[in-house]
Structure 1
């Protein structure tokens, strides 16, 4: 069975499964935002939920992805492009996990918030997979390595860095 999965978050740098091929590209009609999830299983806890932003697989790996991406309420199939000037996708039918804003179907959807508020939440959150800020910084670094400019990720990472600087300055005073 041939299956491609589009990773737009931690799957970029930490797939967690074996794959035969990796292809850098983009999809149309979507943007990456930190509106999902009230992560209590990977990058946060029930007290401090984190925020998060989903490759040819064997069937066992699909089970792994279904568990890992369980807080997303939709699975869609999209076209993957590698050249922005081409109207033809490099690969069609690429699976991607997405979060709908339907809070009845997707109880983990946190939705839009000011960058500063999202940054404050990310600084506090930590879960079994690590600190939420590390997720953000690793995503920013992975995107930079791919030559992908994502203003939302960059602005959020800069806001978190500013807050961390302020926290360090306060702790240096005391």
Structure 2
């Protein structure tokens, strides 16, 4: 038996566990959204950051990487590591299906946690996806909007919706 772990967020550029193989791949019927509040890595309980989670979406494809983990010991180490790292992903925020994008933007620009500024997460995800040859429209537009906000340019309503 082998364990396969699909990374669609920070796991793309930082696995954090031993793996035997890494393959570029995708899953059908899902897309990436910044609905997950991060209070332990890219934010704090007082000022949560935003990281990606998956949302079902007919006709969509979510690109990422799949890690092959072999051997009982490596599998157990990887699963234990992922339980700690991904612990918040089973906690959905209330009404997470309709977040206020301008609120998300403010969180991403200002939030910072033990793993660094939330905006760096967005920029690293954008870079990692481009390196895979994937242009995720949602991630690319959000990264550009964050850059504009950081540079002090005014945003129009259409840029934050």
For structure 1, the residue ranges without an aligned partner over 5 or more in a row are 74-105, 168-174
Cα contact 1:39–1:108 (8 A) shared by 2: no
Post-superposition shift, 1:72? 1.3
C-alpha RMSD over aligned residues? 1.7
Pick one of 92, 104, 119 that aligns with 1:133. Answer: 119
**Greater strand proportion:** 2
Pick one of 127, 134, 138 that aligns with 1:148. Answer: 134
Q: Which has the larger displacement, 49-58 or 138-147?
A: 49-58
Larger Rg: 1
Q: Which has the larger displacement, 7-16 or 55-64?
A: 55-64
Equivalent position of 2:47 in the other structure: 48
Equivalent position of 1:67 in the other structure: 84
Which stretches of structure 1, 4 residues or longer, exceed 3 Å deviation after superposition? 107-110
Determine the C-alpha separation between the residues in 2 that align with 1:64 and 1:18.
11
Determine the C-alpha separation between the residues in 1 that align with 2:95 and 2:22.
31
Query: Does structure 1 residue 12 correspond to structure 2 residue 4?
Result: no
Post-superposition shift, 1:107? 4.6
The TM-score, its normalising length taken from structure 2, stands at 0.77
Count how many residue pairs are aligned between Structure 1 and Structure 2. 134
The TM-score, its normalising length taken from structure 1, stands at 0.72
Cα contact 1:115–1:156 (8 A) shared by 2: no
